[in-house]
Amino acid sequence: MTKPINPTRRSILAAGAAAFALGGLASTRTAAQTTATATASQGRRMLGLLEVSAIGLGVQNHSRTFHTTIPNRAEMNKIIRRAVDDGVTFIDTAEVYGPHESERILGEASGSIRDQIQIATKFGFNVDIETGQWAPGLISDPSHIKEAVEGSLRRLRTDRIDLLYQHRVDPTVPIEDVAGAVRDLMDEGKVLHWGLSEMGPNTLRRAHAELPVAAVQNEYSMLWRGPENGLLALCKELGIGFVPFSPLGYGFLTGAIDMGTSFAPGDFRANTTRMDAENREVNLALVDLVKTWGARKHAAPGQIGLAWLMAQGPSIVPIPGTTQMPHLLENIGAADVTFTPTELAELNSQVSAIKVQGARMPPMVAEWSNVEAPARS
């Protein structure tokens, strides 16, 4: 029996048809205004015109972990389905995760629930479309984007991607050309919305002017507050949603890391100076803070970190990742933790008073962030 079209998708398609009839697809002003005035159902949030659950699920590590154990595939399927059963409908992956395997696992898990969820995936790293081999560099030329999306669709076992991000800005390709390729995919019904990750602010403005952007995905947490230096305000101005990745600081804000913690070989966190002993000792003040507020609000420390993020704006949708069912249920419960205006002002002040020490990523990875696309010649 064929399942009916997801009501969210139906409303998106109807809105798109109406915009086209009015010339709206060619009018950035009309599209941006529509995006800014869209409202979500109770308990949900808007990323542009895309309605999603207030908290999402990142499945990057469903094919591997920070540690040495590869997660059980069947258990990862159970986690995805349990998340959806508990109201989480926004699930985030990328071709480079695995590479390819994260998309495959999500595709396996989402067959019968596809119309209940919104899938986000990404292109932009130099991943071989057939073999999944990851080579150096970034690649976003239009022909490659279209081939990458075809590969994602196959692995995800779906006919459309709800939200397609450029994973990192290709410094050799004008963002207008990237937007043009995505527009073609939208015209074919293969992509419904698009976004960018870790781009420079001028590139975001140019991208949005060419084709309205639904969401930006950047790192954001109590441990890394860089987006507060203008990016969140820019997204609000343009009516663009914001999706924080690593909303728990790669597990730091859960209290799972202390001065006695050592990292397994290959663990990304070991290569970030904010985890160096002298910096970690300072940064643990944040862990003490979320533990204190956890006791005050009868919540886990990580729930405080997630609830704080969601309280920073109505279009902020964190995507914590996990490979463990208890952690999934704990993360979902963060949506029930609220702050009064007075409490939020107090917590914001306390967070601001803690000056995080060290860099959030190794220099080689940092080179991919805040990049501006070249001008179109």
Query: Which SS3 state, helix, strand or coil, does residue 50 take?
Result: strand
Please list the residues that pair with 125 across neighbouring strands: 138
Q: Which of 334, 332, 268, 304 is nearest to 80 (CA)?
A: 332
Distance, CA of 80 to CA of 92 (rounded, Å): 11
| pLDDT tens-digit series, residues 331-372 | 999 999 999 999 999 999 999 999 999 999 988 889 999 999
Distance, CA of 270 to CA of 73 (rounded, Å): 26
Q: Does residue 65 surpass a pLDDT of 80?
A: no
Question: DSSP letters of 306-349?
Answer: HHHHHHT-TTB----B-SSHHHHHHHHHGGG----HHHHHHHHH
Look up 97 and say whether it is catalytic: yes
Element (H or E) spanning 25, and its range?
A: none
Of the pLDDT bands very low, low, confident and very high (cuts 50, 70, 90), residue 266 is confident
pLDDT at 265: 80
Q: Does residue 280 surpass a pLDDT of 60?
A: yes
Distance, CA of 54 to CA of 115 (rounded, Å): 18
pLDDT at 37: 53
Q: Is 232 left (phi over 0), alpha (psi -120 to 50) or beta?
A: alpha
Distance, CA of 35 to CA of 31 (rounded, Å): 6
Residues 6+ apart with CB under 8 A from 329: 82, 86
Residues 3 and 115: beta-carbon distance below 8 Å: yes
| pLDDT tens-digit series, residues 117-165 | 999 999 999 999 999 999 999 999 999 999 999 999 999 999 999 999 9
| pLDDT tens-digit series, residues 174-229 | 999 999 999 999 999 999 999 999 999 999 999 999 999 999 999 999 999 999 99
Element (H or E) spanning 139, and its range?
A: none
pLDDT at 303: 98
pLDDT at 35: 42
Question: DSSP letters of 257-317?
Answer: --TT----TT-GGGGSGGGSHHHHHHHHHHHHHHHHHHHHHT--HHHHHHHHHHHT-TTB-
Side-chain half-sphere CA neighbours of 328 within 13 A: 24
Mean pLDDT within 277-289: 97
Question: Which one is catalytic: 97, 165, 220, 250?
Answer: 97
pLDDT at 64: 74
Residues 308 and 347: beta-carbon distance below 8 Å: yes
pLDDT at 67: 63
Q: Does residue 321 surpass a pLDDT of 90?
A: yes
pLDDT at 18: 34
